[in-house]
């Protein structure tokens, strides 16, 4: 698949954010911003978004996972200095390439702006953001979706997993 970064109005889904370089060959350590790390299988290109908002298509030469991060090797970024230029960039795919969810499941960004009502139909507010935190204990790592923050300042527990 080949991506076009032209003036496309299509929304993007950010799947990783470069945080630092690794090694001498131009590898980049990136925070995973996807619930589906397996999506990197078969990906040959990503859209790199600079902090200023410019887009460029980059070819993936290789990748591997390291703890809760992905290490990316980008084609033509063959040294530390070249890779440093990508620190702070976000890596995305077009929204049309998002992983399809089962019926009645939603991405966090799809919930933002939704009206929240009680089962009786009383409006509580709108979803402003979904906050995710990661709790680590000696026994397990627990992913917990904290209560939604609503525009009216109320909170509504969403789910615990």
Domains, the chain: 12-97 (2.40.30.60), 108-160 (no CATH)
pTM of the model: 0.68
The pLDDT of residue 99 is above 70: yes
Q: Helices (H), strands (E): how many in the chain? A: 2, 13
Contact indicator for 21, 37 with CB cutoff of 8 Å: no
Q: Dig out the tokens for 99 from the structure.
A: 């992983």
- Residue of 105, 104, 127 whose CA lies nearest to 115: 127
C-alpha span between 73 and 97 (Å, rounded): 21
The pLDDT of residue 20 is above 50: yes
Average of per-residue pLDDT across 100-118: 82
Query: Would you state the pLDDT for residue 155?
Result: 45
Assign 8 a pLDDT band (cuts: 50, 70, 90).
low
Q: Dig out the tokens for 138 from the structure.
A: 């000696």
């Amino acid at each position: 698949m080949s991506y076009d970064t032209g003036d496309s109005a299509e929304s993007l889904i950010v799947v990783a954010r470069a945080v630092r370089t690794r090694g001498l060959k131009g590898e980049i350590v990136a925070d995973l911003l996807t619930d589906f790390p397996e999506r990197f299988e078969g990906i040959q290109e990503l859209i790199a978004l600079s902090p200023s908002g410019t887009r460029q298509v980059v070819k993936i030469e290789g990748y591997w996972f390291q703890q809760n991060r992905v290490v990316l090797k980008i084609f033509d970024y063959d040294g530390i200095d070249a890779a440093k230029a990508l620190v702070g960039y976000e890596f995305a795919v077009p929204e049309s390439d998002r992983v399809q969810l089962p019926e009645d499941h939603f991405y966090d960004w799809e919930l933002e702006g939704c009206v929240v009502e009680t089962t009786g139909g009383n409006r509580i507010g709108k979803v402003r953001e979904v906050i995710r935190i990661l709790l680590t204990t000696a026994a397990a790592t627990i992913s917990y979706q904290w209560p939604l923050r609503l525009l009216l300042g109320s909170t509504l527990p969403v789910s615990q997993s």
